[in-house]
């Protein structure tokens, strides 16, 4: 199964509407360039590395996903 990579498509919307956006941009800068792997677990989309969520707070809600696009 291929990785599902996502990047920020609307930086202003992302920074103004996504909880913790500044931390995502700081600790996962590839979210603005090559993309981060996301996996839906329950109702949230978690940032994945090596097949596992990077931590329990690195996720996006369905509503927040509107600021990301698959690459």
- pLDDT tens per residue, range 47-67: 999 999 999 999 999 999 999
**Residue 1, pLDDT score:** 61
Q: Is residue 18 predicted with pLDDT exceeding 80?
A: yes
Report the 3 state secondary structure along 3-34: CCEEEECCHHHHHHHCCCHHHHHHHCHHHHCC
Q: Where are the domains of the chain?
A: 5-70
Closest CA to 7 of 39, 29, 32: 32
**Residue 11, pLDDT score:** 95
Rg (C-alpha) for the chain, rounded Å, is 11
Place of tokens 């992302």: 14
């Amino acid at each position: 199964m291929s990785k599902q990579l996502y990047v920020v498509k609307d930086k202003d919307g992302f920074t103004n509407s996504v909880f913790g956006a500044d931390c995502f941009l700081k600790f996962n800068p590839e979210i603005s360039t090559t993309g981060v792997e996301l996996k839906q677990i329950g109702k949230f989309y978690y940032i994945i590395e090596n097949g596992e969520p990077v931590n329990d707070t690195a996720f996006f809600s369905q509503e927040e996903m509107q600021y990301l696009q698959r690459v």
